[in-house]
């Protein structure tokens, strides 16, 4: 390598079995999650680093339109099927059903979800009958560990910092330079996005990964910030719908965005869900944004201000982080029930 950098600088520790898997396997599919975000796009720099080691790597992702600037040219064409012979690694995906599989695997997942009232009723054996996941790299505290090898670091603020540590460790093991400026800004974007530029609670590993990338490369943070903050005109106008449905009662802020309004504004449900950030600016202890995807499917984003809401999300079949989580519900009755439980939680925590 042209430059030498110490690995012992506070980056997350990479399990040896994860390192050995990537050194050993030559044909890999890296699978991110449905309705992707900037952190799920960490599959792209990981794939690029592995290709430098001579690996054949395919990314399976669902990065939405407002983040298409994160998709490299070689990942524009998404795959429909995953061969049985390939090694499958799930990245930044807290539960199996959210893996961005397409084709027959997606249909098998839908079938299982239809047969069970809740995802947590589906056994690991049933998921593995759909498709074995060889390894999981993730930071969601609710991840049950559905891989044959699981690297789940709930202390990490993003999967991007885990991927950064992994690539650095692979450099150390192989003596080959894998990171470059293009990979570095993509990883930095994932860290910045999931920590909201370190305004959210962040572990020391998050700072260490960001500092490490900045030390080695010239990171254009202005470009990243402008790209992450850029939204469509429809998103801006949809804010009026959010405010019309807005409620602030008993320390709980909530709003509902219906599917027709989202479609009429030319906004994707993924971009619409970002309006949770507007609710988070209020003094509420718990914030809930209900985004109707279609009749009978409502995506919920939950946020807690010093109130752990992961248990609430799990109660409704969801998951995520201690203070940031999500779930999918199916009726207005469930929506009201969730609001009731959120009010109980916010006021209990306040006692």
Which CATH number fits the domain that encloses residue 172? 3.90.1640.10
Tell me what pLDDT residue 66 has: 86
Q: Is the dihedral of CA 332, 254, 337, 140 positive or negative?
A: positive
Residue 67 in domain: yes
User: In this predicted model, what pLDDT tens digit does every residue of 82-108 receive, in sequence order?
Assistant: 999 999 999 999 999 999 999 999 999
Residues 168 and 92 in one domain: yes
CA distances from residue 78 to 82, 98, 183 in whole angstroms, order as listed: 11, 16, 20
| Domain contains 128 | yes
Q: Crossing angle for the helix pair 159-174 and 43-52, nearest 10 degrees?
A: 10
Residues 15-39, mean pLDDT to the nearest whole number: 96
pLDDT tens figures, 235-261: 999 999 999 999 999 899 999 999 999
Q: Tell me if 158 sits within 8 A of 37, measured CB to CB.
A: no
Q: Compute how many other C-beta atoms are within 10 angstroms of the C-beta atom of residue 240.
A: 10
Look at residues 191, 216, 241 and tell me which one is the last residue of a structural domain.
216
The enclosing domain of 311 has a CATH number of 3.10.310.30
Could you list the residue range(s) of the whole structural domain that residue 332 is in?
233-349
Judge whether 209 lies within some domain.
Answer: yes
Residue 31 neighbours by CB under 8 Å, 6+ apart: 43, 60, 61, 82, 88, 89, 90, 91, 93, 99, 100, 101, 133
Handedness of CA 333, 339, 343, 344 (dihedral sign): positive
Shared domain for 21 and 76, answered yes or no, is yes
- What backbone phi and psi angles, to 5 degrees, belong to 57? -130, 135
pLDDT at 168: 96
Q: With beta carbons less than 8 A apart as the criterion, state whether 3 and 217 touch.
A: no
Do residue 247 and residue 174 come from a single domain?
no
| Domain-terminating residue out of 181, 216, 251 | 216
Instruction: Verify that 124 and 260 share a domain, yes or no.
Output: no
pLDDT in tens, 271-327: 999 999 999 999 899 999 999 999 999 999 999 998 999 999 999 988 888 899 999
Pair of tokens at residue 298: 């409502």
Query: Average pLDDT, stretch 169-192?
Result: 97
Residues 204 and 246 in one domain: no
Q: Does the structure show a pLDDT above 50 at 5?
A: no
Query: How much is the pLDDT for 15?
Result: 96
Mean pLDDT on 171-195:
96
Q: Please give the Cα distance from 213 to 207 (Å, whole number).
A: 10
- Report the pLDDT averaged over residues 203-230: 92
Query: How many other C-beta atoms lie within 10 A of the C-beta of residue 68?
Result: 9
- pLDDT at residue 344 greater than cutoff 90: yes
Indicate whether 6 pLDDT > 60.
no
Listed range (72-81, 87-96, 145-154, 329-338) with the worst mean pLDDT: 72-81
The verdict on residue 134 lying in a domain is yes
Give residue 351's pLDDT band: very low, low, confident or very high (50, 70, 90). Answer: low
How is the beta sheet containing 56-60 ordered, strand by strand?
Answer: 56-60, 27-31, 87-91, 135-138, 149-152
Write down the pLDDT at residue 114: 86
The pLDDT score that the predictor gives to residue 318 is 87
- Rg of the chain over Cα atoms, rounded to whole angstroms, equals 20
Give the pLDDT of residue 116: 85
Shared-domain flag, residues 172 and 247: no
Domain membership of residue 223 (yes or no) is no
Q: Is residue 7 part of a domain?
A: no
Residue 202 has pLDDT above 50, yes or no: yes
The whole-model pTM stands at 0.84
Say whether pLDDT at 203 is over 60: yes
- Is pLDDT above 80 for 48? yes
Q: How far apart are CA 126 and CA 109, in angstroms?
A: 10
Q: Which of 216, 245, 275 is the last residue of a domain?
A: 216
Q: Are residues 77 and 157 in the same domain?
A: yes
Mean pLDDT calculated for residue range 328-336: 92
Assess contact for 8 and 37: CB atoms under 8 A: no
How confident is the model over 134-158, as a mean pLDDT? 95
Does residue 211 sit in the same domain as residue 254? Answer: no
Contact 258, 292 (CB under 8 A): yes
Please tell me whether residues 143 and 265 are part of one structural domain.
no
Same domain flag for 208 and 319:
no
**Residues 58, 156: one domain?**
yes
Give a yes or no: residue 224 inside a domain: no
Report the domain count for the chain.
2
How high is the pLDDT of residue 192? 94
Residues 164 and 25 in one domain: yes
Is 221 a member of any domain?
A: no
pLDDT at 184: 97
| 97 touches 47 (CB < 8 A) | no
Average pLDDT of the chain? 91
Of the two residues 203 and 143, the one the predictor is more confident about is: 143
> Measured between alpha carbons, how far is 11 from 116 in angstroms, rounded to an integer?
40
| 215 membership: H or E segment, kind and range | helix 204-216
């Amino acid at each position: 390598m042209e430059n030498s950098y110490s690995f012992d600088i506070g980056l997350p520790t990479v399990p040896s079995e994860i390192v050995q898997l990537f050194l050993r396997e030559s044909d890999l599919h890296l699978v991110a999650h449905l309705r992707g975000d900037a952190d799920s796009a960490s599959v792209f720099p990981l794939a690029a680093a592995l290709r430098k080691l001579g690996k054949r790597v395919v990314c399976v992702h669902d990065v939405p339109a407002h983040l298409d600037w994160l998709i490299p040219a070689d990942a524009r064409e998404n795959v429909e099927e995953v061969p049985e012979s390939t090694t499958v690694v799930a990245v930044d995906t807290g539960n199996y059903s959210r893996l961005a599989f397409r084709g027959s695997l997606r249909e098998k997942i839908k079938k299982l979800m239809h047969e069970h009232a809740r995802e947590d009723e589906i056994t690991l054996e049933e998921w593995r009958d759909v498709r074995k996941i060889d390894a999981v790299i993730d930071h969601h505290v609710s991840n049950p560990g559905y891989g044959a090898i699981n690297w789940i670091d709930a202390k990490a603020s993003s999967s991007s910092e885990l991927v950064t540590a992994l690539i650095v460790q692979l450099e150390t093991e192989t003596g080959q330079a894998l990171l470059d400026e293009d990979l570095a800004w993509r990883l930095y974007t994932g860290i910045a996005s999931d920590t909201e530029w370190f305004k959210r609670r962040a572990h020391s590993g998050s700072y260490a990964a960001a500092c490490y990338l900045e030390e080695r490369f010239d990171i254009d943070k202005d470009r990243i910030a402008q790209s992450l903050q850029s939204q469509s005109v429809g998103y801006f106008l949809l804010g009026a719908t959010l405010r019309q449905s807005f409620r602030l009662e008993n320390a709980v802020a909530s709003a509902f965005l219906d599917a027709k309004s989202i479609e009429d504004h030319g906004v994707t449900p993924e971009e619409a869900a970002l309006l949770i950030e507007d609710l988070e600016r209020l003094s509420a202890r718990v914030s809930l944004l209900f985004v109707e995807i279609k009749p009978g499917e409502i995506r919920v984003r939950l946020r807690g201000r010093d109130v752990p809401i992961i248990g609430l999300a799990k109660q409704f079949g969801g998951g995520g982080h201690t203070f940031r989580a999500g779930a999918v519900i199916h009726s207005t009755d469930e929506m009201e029930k969730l609001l009731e439980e959120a009010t109980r939680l916010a006021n209990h925590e306040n006692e």
